[in-house]
Structure 1
Amino acid sequence: MGSRLCNQLFHASYVSGAFGTEWSVKYNQQEICALKGSTVFMNGTYTLPEGLTVMESFWVIHPTSGVESTDLSKDPDYSGRVEYLTDEQKHFSLKLIDVMKKDENQYCFRIKTSVEKEKWLGYPGIMLSVTELHVETPEEVTEGETADLTCNTTCSLTDPTFIWYINGRSLTSKTMKNNQLHLQTVSSEDAGSYSCAVRGYQHLNSTAHNLRVRYSPKNVSVSISPSGEIVKGSSVNLTCSSDANPPVKNYAWFKEGGTSPVGSGQSYRPLQSGSYYCKAQNEVGAQNATAVSVIVQEIWARSATSDAAMNRSASQEVIYANASPSRPEENSKAESSPVKTSVCTAAMEVEVKEESQEDDVQYCSVQFHQSSPPNRFNSETVDNPSAIYSSVKRKA
């Protein structure tokens, strides 16, 4: 019996051989859909006429009538990626690893026997299709609506179990059916980057796709700077913050107890004590912040002179003055001599407070009658035991 060409045979056909028995090749599947990067197995069984011995079996692609096909394991494009498996029960299998898009072909099993003309090619073989995963989502969805995300393929995988991820985290609490993820009531927390995978091939997940969720302002709050009591005349700013998509378009400021806005913009500078809050609004909705209290305290400014006075030593409460006594021979001229006056002034300490206060200014004077001014600050005079000191204290 001559060689059967690929285009002359049919799947699961039986043809009588020269030795009176039948040739047959049966494939477990005629079509296989595989994920790009995965490993695929093509399996089948065969029979051959009695008296023939299989000398060689291999797989080929693109069988052409009248042309001997090349062993797939010797094709440079498949080098190191194919493995043939057979057993005594006439089972055969092709293991193809790291499947590529260019591997999409028709694969046929080829048998050569001990008789040159007794060859067999199982045709039409197995058609291999290669797919990647693609996530399909709505472009944008508003909070409160429903949304369906789909994990698409270009061919039908065999009994796949799909797994969904958001921002790289596996989703387990959402409703999943076949290749779809159903979001019953969308919230702002559902916004993110979604991808899908098939169980057993989680490392071959799809390219991520973003789901945008529109929502009104939330977590609206007011911050105050600086905090605490504010000195009248100094600067204080209130800032309104929120989370919204699309971003906040309008900010309005209100003082509690009033109905009309007192300001606009993200920042506001209050001039009076009171409780203030902001209202943030975008295309979806609006939300008010919790009010914050602002206290403006009037405090009198302290003069530089008073600051300097307060820094003086407490020992200045007691002030000493010294003078040298007149000589005995000049005592008789005291009445007719001009009067010399030595004046010392006590330190004055003044602080400007909320209520104006003034300290009494105390002056002290010590008078001596003498014909000529003494050298009061001469070291000899200070050491003179006959020197007279006068102690003067401020009034309490």
Structure 2
Amino acid sequence: MACPENMFFLIVLFMSGVLACFGQRHLITTMPDRLDVLTGSCVQIPCSFDIPEQHKDKLNSTILTSGVWIKENPYFGGRPDSVIFNSSETVNRYEGKITGNMSQKNCTTVFFNVTTNYTNRYFFRIESQPFLATDTEKSVKIVVWDLPSSPILTVSGEVKEGIPVSLNCSAVTSCPEHPPELTWTLPTQFTHENQLQENPDQTKSVLSTVTFTPSYLHHEKNITCTAVYPVGTSNKTAEHNMMLNVSFSPKNTSASISPADPVLVGSCVNLTCSSTANPPVTNFTWFKISGDKPTQVASGLSYSLNVTVGDGGLYYCEARNSHGCGKSKEVQLAIKGQEEPVNPKVYEIVGKTLGFIFLFSLIVFFAWRRRTSRLPSGFDMTDRSQGQNSPVGTVCSNQATVGRGNQ
């Protein structure tokens, strides 16, 4: 009978061997942790494998290696139904095929006509006599849905008025043979580009990029990206809505005065400024036109004053945020008993009008002189005498008539 000390040593040695055996991986696979699939569609499982250096001599490269997929539990002894696919078999529980090159350690597999019963965890195994190995530490979870998940919408940077911006919409495709079609709904004209891309976990997704130039009119407008998945003879759709947040300088800036009618000296008058901006207006400034120059008189959304004799005149406001400034039209503060000041622009318009009339009169006068200077002398005298008698007499006659009528 062995001594208790020797027995203890043997037990420790045995347990260490067991733990070492279970701690070694004869097969190392790489695959996604999870795949979301649509019922009736297919699912592609990106898969690759490697064999630890200490076990590579057991694999005979001249023998065809079979790929096996096991459902739920990698230990399928006594549970043959757990094996749902074997590439060396012509008939399998799951309809599929290994599309990867097994000789290059690519075990990528596609299963067709997925049903909700496929929702489970799956392990991969290789069989190449005499080498048989299952990676018990890595699996992929397949989750089957009746409806597709919404695509993902992202914006590249700040959406600012007048600066081109790109919107990205992506939708994962578990069946790259039938990828979804992405379409957009935007409140403006745009250009877009679709492409199939590979994700870090080797799954595939469709990416659509839209480029457009936003306006302040697009602020708080909805945009939609719709993914249309072909499944069998029908389609399944999912969409993602997002409200645009456009940054812009103050727009529609206006000033108002209350009361709007002429007021008495000593009355209280309120001037209010309003504007639309994103981000909101941070500073309102009030100006009064003195002569032909504006003078700042106050700051703030509203301006209140007890009217004095010198307060009458034209006022306007400016609204400012981090993106710029907006200016209102002028409003008139009229005081009863005072002649309303004339807008300097009126003088400018009147001056230009009189100058135009004067210039036109000179052109007509010189044209007339030039014409009369070319006529024969006899005809010129006759024409002049007639011209002097007839029009003047008519004008005087008319003036007289008007005078008698007035009397």
TM-score (norm. length: structure 1): 0.43
Q: TM-score, normalised by structure 2?
A: 0.42
More helix as a share of residues: 2
